[in-house]
């Protein structure tokens, strides 16, 4: 079993305080605030990290699924938009829009979309986020001839 670690901390009150998030690998450490999370201030937030985790996992898993199905992917790119909004007394992640694009030779768009839908259900991060609606838009980019 592989275990990955991360940490987060917060100092001060909710609106004027500040936080820090870090990956256990040391590859990222960044500050965040109420304004970067719920407003338009520049900086990171937990939702961005969730989106990056899903986009990375999905891209890798779709590549594996395409390869297993006998297709050779040149590239797979995925973007994730994570929505957070006020719900009652608190906040909730209410949805994630995933946009995937594949550069894959010798595959029909229907098969690409089928494999992308399967990946949305089976990639490890998608499974971890099963309580959040994930909408997928998949597009096959025609490889350069």
Same domain, 50 and 31: no
Tell how strand 90-105 and strand 72-87 pair up: antiparallel
Q: What's the whole-number average pLDDT of the chain?
A: 94
Of the chain, the percentage scoring pLDDT greater than 70 comes to 98
Question: Sorting pLDDT into bands at 50, 70 and 90, what band is 145?
Answer: low
Per-residue pLDDT tens for 51-91?
999 999 999 999 999 999 999 999 999 999 999 998 999 89
Same domain, 79 and 136: yes
Same domain, 31 and 55: no
1 lies in a domain? no
Q: Write out the residue range of the structural domain in which residue 21 sits.
A: 6-38
Same domain, 77 and 26: no
Closest by Cα among 8, 33, 32 to 21:
8
Average of pLDDT values for 121-137?
Answer: 93
Write the Ramachandran bin of 109: left for phi over 0, alpha for psi from -120 to 50, otherwise beta.
alpha
Same domain, 60 and 76: yes
Domain count, the chain: 2
Same domain, 56 and 122: yes
Same domain, 50 and 113: yes
End-to-end CA distance of the chain: 43
CB atoms within 10 A of CB 21: 19
66 lies in a domain? yes
Same domain, 53 and 123: yes
Please state, in angstroms and rounded to a whole number, the distance separating the CA atoms of residues 87 and 81.
18
Same domain, 53 and 106: yes
Predicted TM-score (pTM) of this structure: 0.91
71 lies in a domain? yes
- The shares of helix, strand and coil residues in the chain, as percent rounded to the nearest 5, are 30, 40, 30
Same domain, 30 and 64: no
Q: Cα 100 from chain centroid?
A: 11
pLDDT exceeds cutoff 80 at 98: yes
């Amino acid at each position: 079993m592989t275990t990955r670690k991360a940490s987060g901390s917060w100092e001060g009150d909710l609106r004027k305080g500040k936080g820090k998030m870090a990956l256990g690998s040391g590859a990222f450490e960044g500050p965040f605030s109420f304004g970067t999370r719920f407003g338009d201030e520049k900086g990171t937030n937990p939702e961005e990290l969730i989106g990056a985790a899903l986009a990375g996992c999905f891209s890798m898993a779709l590549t594996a699924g395409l390869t297993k199905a006998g297709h050779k992917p040149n590239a797979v790119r995925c973007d994730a938009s994570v929505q957070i909004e006020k719900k009652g007394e608190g906040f909730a992640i209410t949805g994630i829009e995933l946009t995937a694009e594949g550069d894959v030779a010798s595959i029909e768009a229907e098969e690409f979309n089928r494999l992308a839908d399967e990946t949305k259900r089976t990639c490890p991060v998608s499974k971890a986020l099963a309580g959040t609606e994930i909408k997928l838009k998949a597009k096959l980019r025609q490889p350069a001839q």
